[in-house]
Amino acid sequence: MTPQLDIKSYDFDTMPKNSDIISNDLILMEIDLARKILGIEKEKSTDIILDVPNDTEWINLKTELLKKHHDLKIITKEDLEKSYTNLYNYTSGFFLILFIIVLFSFCLILYQRYSMINSSDKKEIAILRATGWSIKAIILLKVFESSTVAIFSFLLGVIMAYLFVFIFDAPLLADIFLGSHNLQHSISFAPYIEFSMLLSLFLFFMIFFIASVLIPAWKIATRDIEESLR
């Protein structure tokens, strides 16, 4: 039968909400209450922290401890740094895979737009040429059309990304990049916008998208009008 714990005599407090990203899986309590919950006797412990001022003695101390207690697991600061580095490398590698997939999809869409211009576009350009439009005017029209589409689609994507991360707290992605959680959490991300990054993404998106539209349009506009109308 599990013994009942009288926890009413202990003081409780909660961590600040803005520290959820760090203290999400952390519980702070009095040592006596922790021993009762975990069933650890007074003279025993699970973890011991050693502070060795002389860094050159770390290896000797570790060797001596392992000689006397073979079942100890000794973790140094370097081991912790390596584990966290591997964790962040894993999440950054996962993000890199997602980025490559998105980039490949974007390039595939551009290639399809460039190589598979439909007959309606050909007829539209041919009709404009037949009614007296110059090649320069047609190119300017296509620049205006593609720029309008690119700007509105980019703004829509930025707004949706902002809502997804800062309003809905990035469901699923937050669990992937921040790790799994055993405790209920309410992590909220503080809004932060880096305009230089947005500008770089916009120029990268805009240049290739407009180029994929203008090059086929220019090729069709320079063809014979009757050939384009067929």
Instruction: Give the helix/strand (H/E) hosting 85.
Output: helix 77-115
Number of domain units in the chain? 1
Is residue 105, in this structure, part of any structural domain at all?
no
pLDDT digits (tens, 9 = 90+) for 12-62: 566 776 666 666 667 778 888 888 888 888 878 778 888 888 877 778 888
Q: Which domain holds residue 162?
A: 116-229
In the chain, the amino acid numbered 20 is: D
Q: What angle do CA 82, 88, 90 make, to 5 degrees?
A: 100
How far is residue 201's CA from residue 205's CA, in Å, rounded to a whole number? Answer: 6
Q: What is the chain's pLDDT, residue by residue, as a tens digit (230 residues)?
A: 445 555 555 555 667 766 666 666 677 788 888 888 888 888 787 788 888 888 777 788 888 888 888 778 888 778 878 877 776 676 677 777 888 888 888 888 777 776 656 666 777 888 888 888 888 888 888 888 888 988 998 999 899 989 988 888 787 777 766 655 554 556 677 788 888 888 888 888 888 888 888 888 888 778 776 666 66
Q: What is the pTM of this model?
A: 0.57
Residue 225: partners with Cβ closer than 8 Å, 6 or more residues away: 126, 129, 130
Residues 217 and 139 sit within 8 Å (Cβ to Cβ): yes
Domain-located, residue 94: no
